[in-house]
Amino acid sequence: MKSVIFSTVFALLCQSTDSYKTFECVQKDEAPSVIPVAFYAYISRTFKALSPYKPFIFDAVETNLGNGYDRKTGIFTASSSGLYAFSWTIHAAGTHHAGSSGSQFGEMAAVLTQNGVAKGSVYADTEKQHDDASATGFVILAASKGDKFQIICPMAGQGAFFSTKYNGRTSFSGYRIA
């Protein structure tokens, strides 16, 4: 992002007892020079429910401006202090996939943590076959440089979860607002 500088120059004439003096005044308004920070990642395949406190690993990264998102750990690290917006979505499957079986279908929670502290949560639950469910969370949080954000599963889930281009992506995204 380029800084934009606007300047206004004008002359003031002031009368003194001896002569006229000219003063030049310059006003500069600068937009802050901030490197954009934004990421969007999703899980690249349909998957079974996670174990308690296991992190979601969003391994397919579409956008990673500022390189704050780590596809191996599922953690986003704030590169600068500021105000950030985050969104995450889970898609519970009402059919068996990825090795799930039995009479239970997709059910799981997904919690956004900031430095290990829960800041937002969603829950998706399918009750019967072909009864798919989705849940999306959105929060705006103040962050300090180095803060870590991650989506975890706080409870034992069951069944399977979609992450396909047709059934919906289980995803995580965020960006720096200010």
Q: Is the pLDDT of residue 86 over 50?
A: yes
Residue 16: per-residue pLDDT: 45
3-class secondary-structure state, position 169: coil
CB crowding 121-155: b at 16 or more within 10 Å, else e: bbbbbbeeeeebbebebebebebeeeebbbbbbbe
User: What is the pLDDT confidence band of residue 8, given thresholds at 50, 70 and 90?
Assistant: very low
Arithmetic mean of pLDDT over the chain: 79
Tokens matching residue 95 = 């059919």
Contact 79, 68 (CB under 8 A): yes
Please tell me the pTM assigned to this model: 0.74
**Is the model more confident about 140 or about 96?**
140
Residue 160's pLDDT band, with cuts at 50, 70 and 90, is confident
**Residue range 38-44: average pLDDT?**
95
The confidence score (pLDDT) of residue 102 equals: 55
- What is the separation of C-alpha 143 from the centre of its chain, rounded to a whole number of angstroms? 12
State how far Cα 54 lies from the chain centre: 19
pLDDT of 7: 30
Helix (H, G, I), strand (E, B) or coil at 46: coil
